[in-house]
Structure 1
Amino acid sequence: MIQTAPPAEVFPEYPASWYLFGESRELRQGPVSRRILGRLLVAFRTESGRLVVMDGECAHLGADLGFGDVVGETIRCPFHHWQYGCDGACVAVPGQGPGQGRPPAFARQRTYPTEERHGYLFFFNGREPLFPLPFFLNDEGLGEDPAGYAASEVFRYVGDCTWYMNSAHAFDRQHFAAVHDRELMGPPAIDCPAPYARRNSYLAKVVGDTGFDRILRYTAGRTVKTTLTIWGGTFAVITADFERVRSGFVMAMEPLEDGRTMCHGIVFAPRPRGPLGLLAPLQLRLRRLFTYGYLKEEARRLRSTRYKPESLGPADQDMIDFFHWAAALPQKGDHEEKDCLPASAIPAVPDVPAVLRAGAAAGSPAGGRGARL
């Protein structure tokens, strides 16, 4: 077992993972720019319907492309009307006459892989995604079809800690009781179901006296099997299987420049058929209310938490293992030559228990463990 946690300096500032840009409908009126991951990014939909996310400062003089226009399959800078294609290459420079050559080599914007799901636009921080945009798994370990689920509105809160401290909560068994009033009924089962994914599953009793927990015990049950899967360090898929109700949500964590973490949560529910479909919007709002209340209270109680590796001891072993796993994730940009490596070629973290390395090499469809919700 690893006895000491890694120093803070080894964690990626902005891990190679999936992040939420925003709602797709925001792009109906034109490009939208946003400062994310320490840089200005712009998103737009071309005339053919293709979604694009690229660096938002024009390579010419740094103008904000979010104030530009979509012209066919390109975005046009508002300052000098340089145009960039979906691959980020400049395709037109006004005033450049015949025979004057192509646009300069520097006239290129970095682009990011995108995926649209349930009306939301996600992008991957890297040239190619290292793993698909995660979703739930069913009982057979196969990926659920996202089209079979309805999504809530996003809820947001700021975690007053770094992304790796925020994600480590999924492996902090002591805080389940101290913060969430959950009494573990056995040791957690921790594994790596796929490359770049780390999972914790545990069975617990709901023992809290808050209004939320009292309602949960009455409507859902007194015990819950929770599965938390962290993908790429910053994207979490969580399922909660109560005695009578199943619930699930995803959390896209965005590292902020001030060292805190913006958490974007989306709750999901199966799309019911028949007359029950009329109640679906209300059920989804209630699920969102309970999930947001649960997590917002955690964020309130965990303000000013800081990563102090020298303070972690034997009781924190699950977190220590997680920190070593997270520290070994691809650094900003360094995954570009590792994109196409098979799982067997991914280097193991020194001294990580063999069962974790075996899980990382096995691979499985994206998502956290859980049956239909």
Structure 2
Amino acid sequence: MDVASLKETTDLPWRVSNDLASWFLVASSEQLPEGLVRPAAVAGREIVLFRSKGRVHALDPYCAHMGAKLCHGGVTNGLLTCPLHGWQYRGDGTVAGGAQRVRSWPVVERMGGILVFNGDRPLFEPPAEQPEYYWSAASGEILDSPWFALTANAFDTHHYEAVHRRRLKEPATVAEPDRWTFSCSYVSEVTGNEVSDKIMRRLAPEGIKVTMTCYGGVLFTVKSILGERRASLMVGMEPQEDRTRLRLQVGSRGKGLQAVIARYLYTSFLKSDLKPMSGIRLQPYTGLAVDAVIERFARYLERLPVSS
């Protein structure tokens, strides 16, 4: 690591709110088949998910009648049914045959995952669908780290070589097309000798082309080009006080072995961060020596609004 290239700063504003007005990856689509009810959480708030006629809906989790938990109910004729007295809810939260309602949340499905917006209406579009890939869920982790430290770590180009044995062939390129989006692209060569490193080096002897894009702070995608092969990843973060649950959706060009290899390479890369990031406490306005990418990313996080 070239310490001389870092910049000393005393006013780096790390976003610490867990309640961002953003899209949260709350579950994999394959976990919610037709007619199933499932509990979930958005920025620490409990919600309930159900699928009706192919469409996913997200509602507040308690019945408007006597507060029974709707996740213990079922779906009857396309309506979410309370387990206690049988009250039935449409996808917009209204009660069938009554004037009562519970709050509903904006929902979309992207890349094999269910995204819920933390607010009454979306402030920005979620990542575009990538239909050229087959998507599957990969095992996530619960880390003893705040979400913003983990997101910043993804864009910390100096740690790539120290932790991941990836050397950048040229400085990373950063783009901020709008208030909600932060993107970083680079080409790296593999210097490690683990099994996953050897596979990567064989697939991409000229280097790995990577584009990472963050959407609203807690959701980002990674597009990788390894020679003739391509793969994609969507990572969602669920803040839990000082902990963070990661959810992963992996995209591969084919099913079977290609999907297995893509999941293995992405999860092997991410697992290298588990020990270094465990217990990290990155605080706001702490004097740090940082590179230009990290500083820009911190300023980007500062501009993101909190849910009202």
Q: How far, CA to CA, are the matches of 2:249 and 2:150 in structure 1?
A: 17
Counterpart of 1:70, as a letter, is V
Unaligned runs of 5+ in 2: 1-6
TM-score (norm 2): 0.87
Q: How far, CA to CA, are the matches of 2:113 and 2:228 in structure 1?
A: 30
Given that residues 190 and 201 in structure 1 are in contact (C-alpha distance below 8 angstroms), is that contact kept between their aligned partners in structure 2?
yes
Measured after TM superposition, the shift of residue 312 of structure 1 is: 4.0
1:133 to 123, 126, 143: 126
Question: Deviations along 1:284-337, whole A, 9 cap, x unmatched?
Answer: 11111111111012123321111134444343443232122112212123xxxx
1:265 is paired with a residue of what secondary structure? strand
Q: How far, CA to CA, are the matches of 2:283 and 2:196 in structure 1?
A: 32
Matches within 5 A, 1:312-327: 312-327=287-302
CA RMSD, Structure 1 to Structure 2 (Å): 2.5
- How many residues are aligned here? 301
Measured after TM superposition, the shift of residue 29 of structure 1 is: 4.8
2:83 aligned partner: 78
1:255 is paired with a residue of what secondary structure? strand
Counterpart of 2:159, as a letter, is H
Shift in alpha-carbon separation, 1:222–1:119, aligned structure 2, 3 A? closer
2:131 is paired with a residue of what secondary structure? helix
2:154 aligned partner: 170
Shift in alpha-carbon separation, 1:117–1:185, aligned structure 2, 3 A? closer
Shift in alpha-carbon separation, 1:181–1:221, aligned structure 2, 3 A? same
Query: Which range is displaced more, 211-220 or 308-317?
Result: 308-317
1:66 is paired with a residue of what secondary structure? helix
1:6 to 7, 13, 29: 13
Q: How far, CA to CA, are the matches of 1:188 and 1:251 in structure 2?
A: 20
TM-score (norm 1): 0.73
Question: Deviations along 1:2-31, whole A, 9 cap, x unmatched?
Answer: 86212655x353442232333345344532
2:251 aligned partner: 268
Matched, 1:21 2:24: no
Q: How far, CA to CA, are the matches of 1:74 and 1:190 in structure 2?
A: 46
Measured after TM superposition, the shift of residue 237 of structure 1 is: 0.9
Q: How far, CA to CA, are the matches of 1:175 and 1:289 in structure 2?
A: 21
2:3 aligned partner: none
Given that residues 26 and 41 in structure 2 are in contact (C-alpha distance below 8 angstroms), is that contact kept between their aligned partners in structure 1?
no
Counterpart of 2:26, as a letter, is L
Matched, 1:65 2:70: yes
Matched, 1:45 2:29: no
Measured after TM superposition, the shift of residue 244 of structure 1 is: 4.2
Measured after TM superposition, the shift of residue 221 of structure 1 is: 1.8
Given that residues 21 and 117 in structure 2 are in contact (C-alpha distance below 8 angstroms), is that contact kept between their aligned partners in structure 1?
no
Measured after TM superposition, the shift of residue 156 of structure 1 is: 0.8
Matched, 1:54 2:59: yes
Unaligned runs of 5+ in 1: 94-102, 136-144, 272-279, 334-373
2:11 is paired with a residue of what secondary structure? coil
Given that residues 15 and 330 in structure 1 are in contact (C-alpha distance below 8 angstroms), is that contact kept between their aligned partners in structure 2?
yes
Task: Identify the structure with the greater helix proportion.
Answer: 1
Larger radius of gyration: 1
1:331 aligned partner: 306
2:290 is paired with a residue of what secondary structure? helix
2:4 aligned partner: none
Q: How far, CA to CA, are the matches of 1:121 and 1:309 in structure 2?
A: 31
Q: How far, CA to CA, are the matches of 1:314 and 1:299 in structure 2?
A: 22
Given that residues 59 and 104 in structure 2 are in contact (C-alpha distance below 8 angstroms), is that contact kept between their aligned partners in structure 1?
yes
Q: How far, CA to CA, are the matches of 2:30 and 2:258 in structure 1?
A: 24
Shift in alpha-carbon separation, 1:127–1:182, aligned structure 2, 3 A? same
Measured after TM superposition, the shift of residue 198 of structure 1 is: 0.2
Shift in alpha-carbon separation, 1:222–1:189, aligned structure 2, 3 A? same
Matches within 5 A, 1:205-244: 205-244=189-228
2:270 aligned partner: 295
